[in-house]
Structures are given as C-alpha cells and as structure tokens.
C-alpha cells in the first residue's frame, strides 16, 4: 500500500518545441478550418479518448493519435504556465 503522506514526483522533458506543441497547433488549425471550436473538441478528446472529436481534415485525427493524451496535457500545462 502506498504511503499517502509522501509526494510523488512526475518529471517531463523540458523542450522548448516538441512534437506535442506542433501537433496541437496543426490540430487546432484543422478544427478551425472546419468550423469547430478547438477548445471544446480538444477537451472532449482529452476527457474521453474518443478520436471522433478530432476532424480528419489535414490528417488531424491521425496526428493527434500519434501521442498519448498525457503528452498532450503536459504540453498544454507547459504552454499555460509559460504565459503566466
């Protein structure tokens, strides 16, 4: 049984530009091109894992499936914290 008094450590690579950032930008652009709200669609995908939230336009669905959802979340948190 894990000790709940200790803090777990999760480490991610500290890359300025990585595959996740590039893929998120391309997917967002493809979603906008097709008239979707990229925030709504990405949240739906991240919560459910269902790739049908992402359009097939410009191979966006194929691109986003190249990465695990935790990698996408890491990049989103990294980008958010950089702006703060």
Q: pLDDT by residue (tens digit) across 3-26?
A: 777 877 777 666 555 899 999 999
What local confidence, expressed as pLDDT, does residue 13 receive?
63
Residues spanned by the domain of 71 = 19-83
- What is the total count of domains within the chain? 1
pLDDT value at 65 more than 90: yes
**Residues 6 or more apart whose Cβ sits within 8 Å of residue 76:** 24
* Domain annotation covers residue 7: no
CA pair distance 68, 52, nearest whole angstrom: 15
What local confidence, expressed as pLDDT, does residue 12 receive?
64
* Domain annotation covers residue 52: yes
Which pLDDT band, with edges at 50, 70 and 90, does 1 fall under? low
Structure tokens given for 35: 């008239």
What local confidence, expressed as pLDDT, does residue 38 receive?
97
* Domain annotation covers residue 9: no
């Amino acid at each position: 049984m894990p000790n709940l008094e200790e803090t777990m450590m999760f480490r991610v690579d500290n890359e300025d530009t990585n595959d996740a950032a590039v893929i998120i930008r391309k997917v967002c652009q493809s979603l906008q091109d097709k008239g979707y709200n990229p925030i709504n669609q990405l949240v739906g995908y991240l919560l459910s894992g269902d790739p049908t939230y992402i359009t097939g336009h410009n191979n966006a669905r194929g691109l986003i499936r190249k990465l695990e959802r935790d990698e996408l979340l890491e990049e989103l948190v990294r980008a958010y914290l950089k702006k703060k």
